[in-house]
Amino acid sequence: MKDATVATTSPALPRPRRARRLDWRGTSSVVGFFLAWQLAVTFSLPGFTDIPTPWEVLVTFVRDFLFSANYWSSWLVSFQRVFLGFFLAQIIGIPLGLFFGTHATFRALVLPVFEMMRPIPPLAWVPLSILFWPTTEASIVFITFIGAFFIITINVFEGVRSIRPEHVWLARSLGAGTLRIFRRIMIPAVVPSIAVGMTLGIAVTWNVVIAAEMIASDSGLGRLTWEGYVSSTPTIVIVGMISIGLAGYLSTMIVDWIESRMMPWKQ
Amino acid sequence: MPTDAAIPVRTTSLLPNRRTWLAALGFAGFILAWYAAVHWSPFAAFNRLPDPFEVVVEWTSSDPYYGISIFTADYYTHIFYSTYRALAAFGLAVLLGVPLGIFMGWKPGVRAYAGSLLSLLRPVPPLAWVPIAILVFPGVEPAVIFVTFLVAFFATTMNTLVGVRAIPQDYYRAAACLGASNRDVLFDVVIPGAMPSIFTGLQIAMGAAWFSLVAGEMIAAQYGLGFLIWESYSLIQYPTIVIGMATLGLVGYLSSAAVRLVGRRLMAWHEQRLGMAG
Amino acid sequence: MTTTASHPPEDLGPRPQTGGLGIANVSKVYDPEGRAVVALDDFSLDVEAGDFVAIVGPSGCGKSTLLNILAGFDTPTSGEVLLDGVPLAGPDLAPRPGPDRVVVFQQGALFPWMTVLGNVTYGLLKQGGVSRREAEARAITLLAESGKLDRIADAYPAQLSSGMQRRVEIIRALINDPRVLLLDEPFRAMDTVNKSTMHRHLLELYSRNRKTIVFITHDLEEALFLADRVIVMTTRPGTLKMDIAVNLPRPRKREMMASDAYLALREKAVFAVSEEAKRAFERGEREMA
């Protein structure tokens, strides 16, 4: 029998170097986009005859909007509507989702009606909402609420459904009371679903607010954009769009931050 | 709050018969509550709304008061316009979004280029594109379809991308071992592997398309269910508002169900897996 | 009976013509964010055609890295690998996986969207030169020989038990007549009973159709039971620590595991591996799967 034995020693590990490379491919495609836009206007391509160039937009923005109180109050108004509707949807949707998940009878009674209303696009509610609510503000917040409400409820419901009954039975057999089960099993299982619902919900909510403002309001970023359209000032329209995009991006970051607080264990 | 009987139990624990009865009861309760709110509540806000019976009578009348019912041609014209717009936008989104998503998921190079651009454009709510779209496109029709397309496109691309990324590396390696070429890998691993996610994305895209379409129609179109709803409101034809909403819900649901059905057909293998796990 | 470096098993018949592996001074260095991580350090091994070699070692010792290089999924930083004298992998050669060395994967990599038949015939069809009908006929024959698996030819992998899935995956590999069969901890997730069935099955296949087999595992008993040689690797950076010749006669039987010869071998192997594991632990290595 012949065996071979070899031993080695490990080399010393060098100190870590942090390398940060510029994402030149991504940057180049973004630059390319703006370039294409500029060229489309410069060469008066069909459809682009009335569109301003990126530079014109920037100039107009700095000149007319950056320091205008009106502009920033539009931001505030839209943000308020978004987050009010959003949080109302949480307050009502989360308990409802929990109920759906835990009470079979309640679910059999109410879920069919809920599911029947879910496919109706939120904006289809606008006329009823205007009819019903005394103020424009309330009607817009209601639409926002509808947008996020269904998503959040469904996500929470799914979260509860994903809890394996064995876990609950085990907890009970170990003597856990109802409240304890709620805190220790339900909440951790549901928190990620709430997070998903929030992320999806915020995107939808922004869409809804903008459209609702365009249709039925006299303030907010959506209205700003629409007025630009109505007054045939495409520059304002584009400023409005970019503002809305930025606002949406900001909201997503806020929601992400809230999520990271809710779930500190997630990477 | 959870009670003893409320251990998270799956729906199948209630006998189907019982469930149907309860569902019917739930609907009846809903109708009753609606009726009561309109006629018996002290709030003027509710009193203004149409009650369920008005709506149903109008909807099924052969000579509707406001001109829209299942017996009028106009009703179907509106449905047709909305449906064709939704399908056109959806179809385009699938045609462009799925291949793009596949290549973005598969090839890091494509992802680097396209990813930044998409991230830039994604946060802009698609409906904010409506005014610009109307200016750029030669008419309202293409503009509305474009905006609807955008929403569906993002949803499709993102979900496809995620689906491709989720394919475990071992499948690629196994295929390579067995002699697959690059093209083989695309058709034998990437596409089938991403299918479940693609179809989830398609369902989301379908729902998103309807959502966006209605807004577009309310803002700027002639004909279509969104337009119908808005016009009925302006002309104070309230029962028709609800008819429009209900039709929208129905058509939206049916189109999502159709996508789901196609998905099930194409992915018999996935169903088996779910069956096993169930 | 003469003793040589690798004990020639008695009833296995002649060695195959192809499948000799020469691993010469292979090193693999990873460079994530500027920190040089040496996964393999100057690893050398010669495998004769038809040998059944098992590779064991503590977690993170580089077993999988070695397999990836052999399979063609990765290139060595230095050194080279020769298959029947032809360079297969080297720092300047592009990684080239192929049906001459097929891998059976740890987590199982049967394509879930193809039936068993589709999976098994995949390699033959992709390489061309065989009609679909012939490929299917061959597949059915092989499946039938492996415990009447032809009955499940139209099933999808998700419908099969893990034992059946593994068997199908092995058949999917063998039908291509590879020169080397590479197995990456294929039975890791299985329970004892299933595992022994798989061992029996694998040895049966080996005796019927002798091929070079490289079998990575962390289970020492499995390694000693299956292989002709058990290679013990050091902890990271991985290199060859010990080459244990397993002189147990074939066909291997469960009862052999109670014999003195086996116990002595196991003692030796356990000692070597635990020495490395201890060293890794003391160095504060993170346990990696």
Q: Tell me the Ramachandran region of residue C105: left when phi exceeds 0, alpha when psi lies from -120 to 50, beta otherwise.
A: beta
- Whether residue C114 lies within 8 A of chain B, CB to CB, comes out as yes
CATH number of B73-277: 1.10.3720.10
**A60 to chain C, minimum CA–CA distance in Å?**
44
Nearest to C105 among B170, B181, B267 (CB): B170
Residues 225-244 of A with CB under 8 A from B: 225-226, 228-229, 234, 237-238, 240-242, 244
pLDDT band of B274, cuts 50, 70, 90? very low
Taking only the tens place, the pLDDT of each residue in A201-217 is 888 888 888 888 887 77
State yes or no: pLDDT of C101 exceeds 50.
yes
8 A C-beta contact, residue A160 and residue A100: yes
Q: A10 and C240 in contact by Cβ < 8 A?
A: no
Assembly ipTM:
0.86
Query: What CATH number corresponds to the domain at position A60?
Result: 1.10.3720.10
Best C2, C28, C30, C41 member to test A by mutation, with max A CBs in 10 Å, is C41
* Domain ranges within chain B, ordered by starting residue: 73-277
The token pair that represents B260 in the structure block: 């789901």
* Domain ranges within chain C, ordered by starting residue: 107-177
8 A C-beta contact, residue C260 and residue C274: no
Please tell me which residue of chain C has the smallest CA distance to A10: C237
State yes or no: pLDDT of B122 exceeds 80.
no
Q: B273 and C158 in contact by Cβ < 8 A?
A: yes
State yes or no: pLDDT of B16 exceeds 70.
yes
C104 bridge partner residues: C183
Residues contacting residue A11 through CB under 8 Å, at least 6 positions apart: C36, C38, C237
- Whether residue B191 lies within 8 A of chain C, CB to CB, comes out as no
C231 bridge partner residues: C55, C243
C216 class by beta-carbon count within 10 Å (0-12 exposed, 13-18 middle, 19+ buried) = buried
Nearest to C71 among B177, B184, B273 (CB): B177
8 A C-beta contact, residue C140 and residue C206: no
State yes or no: pLDDT of C6 exceeds 70.
no
Best B177, B191, B269 member to test C by mutation, with max C CBs in 10 Å, is B177
State yes or no: pLDDT of B196 exceeds 80.
yes
- Chains in contact with C, counting 3 or more C-beta pairs less than 8 Å apart as contact: A, B
Ranges in chain A, pLDDT < 70: 1-23, 265-267
- Whether residue B246 lies within 8 A of chain A, CB to CB, comes out as yes
Taking only the tens place, the pLDDT of each residue in C187-207 is 988 888 888 889 988 998 888
Amino acid identity for residue C223 in this structure: A
**C161 to chain B, minimum CA–CA distance in Å?**
11
Question: What are the chain C neighbours of B175 within 8 Å (beta carbons)?
Answer: 111, 122
- Chains in contact with B, counting 3 or more C-beta pairs less than 8 Å apart as contact: A, C
* String of DSSP letters for C243-280: EEE----SS--GGGGGSHHHHHHHHHHHHHHHHHHHHH
- Whether residue B250 lies within 8 A of chain A, CB to CB, comes out as yes
| Among A4-8, B195-199, B207-211, the least confident range | A4-8
The mean per-residue pLDDT over the stretch B87-115 comes to 90
Please indicate whether residue C264 or residue C3 has the higher confidence score (pLDDT): C264
Question: What are the chain B neighbours of C127 within 8 Å (beta carbons)?
Answer: 178-179
Nearest to A6 among C236, C241, C283 (CB): C241
**pLDDT (0 to 100) of residue C32:** 66
CA-nearest of C174, C181, C208 to C12 is C208
Q: A121 and B214 in contact by Cβ < 8 A?
A: yes
Taking only the tens place, the pLDDT of each residue in B145-178 is 998 998 899 889 988 988 898 899 999 999 998 9
Residues 93-122 of A with CB under 8 A from B: 101-105, 107-113, 116-122
- Whether residue C161 lies within 8 A of chain B, CB to CB, comes out as no
- Whether residue B278 lies within 8 A of chain C, CB to CB, comes out as no
Please tell me which residue of chain C has the smallest CA distance to A15: C35
Residue with tokens 């915020």: A202
Q: The whole model's pTM is what?
A: 0.79
Q: A123 and B4 in contact by Cβ < 8 A?
A: no
**C113 to chain B, minimum CA–CA distance in Å?**
5
B257 bridge partner residues: none
Please tell me which residue of chain C has the smallest CA distance to B276: C159
**pLDDT (0 to 100) of residue A6:** 36
State yes or no: pLDDT of B32 exceeds 60.
yes
State yes or no: pLDDT of C140 exceeds 60.
yes
- Distance separating alpha carbons of residues A148 and A87, to the nearest angstrom: 9
State yes or no: pLDDT of B50 exceeds 70.
yes
* String of DSSP letters for C132-199: HHHHHHHHHHHHHHTTSGGGGTTS-GGGS-HHHHHHHHHHHHHTT--SEEEEESTTTTS-HHHHHHHH
Percent of chain B with pLDDT over 90: 18
**C157 to chain B, minimum CA–CA distance in Å?**
8
State yes or no: pLDDT of C109 exceeds 60.
yes
A14 in any annotated domain: no
**pLDDT (0 to 100) of residue B23:** 85
Residues contacting residue A163 through CB under 8 Å, at least 6 positions apart: A101, A185, A186, A189, B8
8 A C-beta contact, residue B253 and residue A120: no
- Whether residue B211 lies within 8 A of chain A, CB to CB, comes out as yes
8 A C-beta contact, residue A213 and residue A139: no
The mean per-residue pLDDT over the stretch B240-258 comes to 90
What is the SS3 assignment for B177? helix
CA-nearest of B18, C223, C74, B215 to A109 is B18
Residues contacting residue A256 through CB under 8 Å, at least 6 positions apart: A199
8 A C-beta contact, residue B72 and residue A156: no
β-pairing verdict for C52-56 and C21-30: unpaired
Element (DSSP H or E) covering residue C27: strand C21-30
The mean per-residue pLDDT over the stretch B169-189 comes to 91
Best C29, C240, C265, C281 member to test A by mutation, with max A CBs in 10 Å, is C240
Q: B2 and A186 in contact by Cβ < 8 A?
A: yes
- Distance separating alpha carbons of residues C260 and C263, to the nearest angstrom: 5
Question: What are the chain C neighbours of B273 within 8 Å (beta carbons)?
Answer: 112, 156, 158
The mean per-residue pLDDT over the stretch C9-38 comes to 78
**Sheet-wide strand order for C37-47:** C37-47, C21-30, C78-83, C86-89
Please tell me which residue of chain C has the smallest CA distance to B268: C113
Question: What are the chain C neighbours of A1 within 8 Å (beta carbons)?
Answer: 3, 245, 247
pLDDT band of B13, cuts 50, 70, 90? low
Best C88, C111, C152 member to test B by mutation, with max B CBs in 10 Å, is C111
State yes or no: pLDDT of C245 exceeds 80.
yes
Number of domains present in the structure of chain A: 1
- Give the domain range for residue A144: 54-262
β-pairing verdict for C21-30 and C78-83: antiparallel
Question: What are the chain C neighbours of B272 within 8 Å (beta carbons)?
Answer: 156, 158-159
Q: C97 and B173 in contact by Cβ < 8 A?
A: yes
State yes or no: pLDDT of C210 exceeds 80.
yes
- Whether residue B99 lies within 8 A of chain A, CB to CB, comes out as no
State yes or no: pLDDT of C144 exceeds 60.
yes
The mean per-residue pLDDT over the stretch C136-140 comes to 91
